[in-house]
Amino acid sequence: MVTLTKDSNCLRCGKNSLLTDDVTGEQFCSKCGYVVSEKINESGPEWRSFQTESGVNPARTGAPSSLLMHDMGLSTVINPINKDATGKPLSSSMKSTIERLRTWDSRSQSHEPEDRNLRQALNELTRMKDKIALSSNVLEKASYLYRKALEKKLVRGRSISAMIAASVYAACRDTETPRTLRDVADAANVKRKDIARCYRLLHYELQLKMPVVNPIQCISRISSKLELSEKIKRHAIEVLQIARDNKESSGKDPMGLAATALYIACLKYEGNITQRDLAEAAGVTEVTIRNRFKGFKKQPSFKLKS
Same domain, 257 and 296: yes
Same domain, 222 and 282: yes
Same domain, 194 and 251: no
Q: Tell me what pLDDT residue 48 has.
A: 54
Same domain, 201 and 132: yes
Is 58 part of any domain? no
Same domain, 197 and 125: yes
Same domain, 251 and 180: no
Domain end among 180, 205, 230? 205
Lowest-confidence range among 71-75, 164-168, 261-265, 296-300?
71-75
**pTM above 0.75?**
no
Assess whether pLDDT exceeds 80 at residue 43: no
> Residue 201 CA to chain centroid, in angstroms?
23
Q: How many other β-carbons are positioned within 10 Å of the β-carbon of residue 235? A: 20
**CA 189, 194, 200, 206 torsion-angle sign:** negative
Q: Tell me what pLDDT residue 306 has.
A: 42
Same domain, 239 and 188: no
Question: Looking at the chain, which runs of residues are DSSP E strands?
Answer: 2-4, 18-21, 27-29, 35-37, 48-52, 55-59
Q: How many other β-carbons are positioned within 10 Å of the β-carbon of residue 217? A: 13
- For 45, 214, 216, 260, 303, the CA distances from 238, given in Å and listed in that order, are 54, 13, 9, 12, 13
State the residue range of the domain holding 28.
Answer: 2-37
Same domain, 237 and 297: yes
Same domain, 233 and 177: no
Same domain, 189 and 229: no
pLDDT per position as a tens digit, 103-162: 887 777 666 777 788 888 888 888 888 888 888 888 999 999 999 998 898 988 889 999
Q: Tell me what pLDDT residue 132 has.
A: 86
Sheet holding 27-29, edge to edge: 2-4, 18-21, 27-29, 35-37
Q: Classify burial at 71, counting beta carbons within 10 Å of its beta carbon; exposed 0-12, middle 13-18, buried 19 or more.
A: middle
Any idea what the CATH number is for the domain that residue 25 is in? 2.20.25.10
For 278-294, b/e burial (b = at least 16 CB within 10 A) is bbbbbbbeeebbeebbe
The rounded distance, in Å, linking the Cα atoms of 252 and 243 is: 11
| Diameter of the chain measured on Cα atoms | 96
Assess whether pLDDT exceeds 90 at residue 194: yes
List all residues 6 or more positions away from 221 whose beta carbon is below 8 Å from its beta carbon: 178
Any idea what the CATH number is for the domain that residue 290 is in? 1.10.472.10
Is 160 part of any domain? yes
Question: What is the total count of domains within the chain?
Answer: 3
C-alpha triplet 254, 167, 65: angle, nearest 5°: 125
Same domain, 120 and 159: yes
Is 97 part of any domain? no
Question: Which residue type is seen at 192?
Answer: R
The rounded distance, in Å, linking the Cα atoms of 41 and 193 is: 61
The rounded distance, in Å, linking the Cα atoms of 291 and 256 is: 9
pLDDT-based confidence at 45, cuts 50/70/90?
low
Is 182 part of any domain? yes
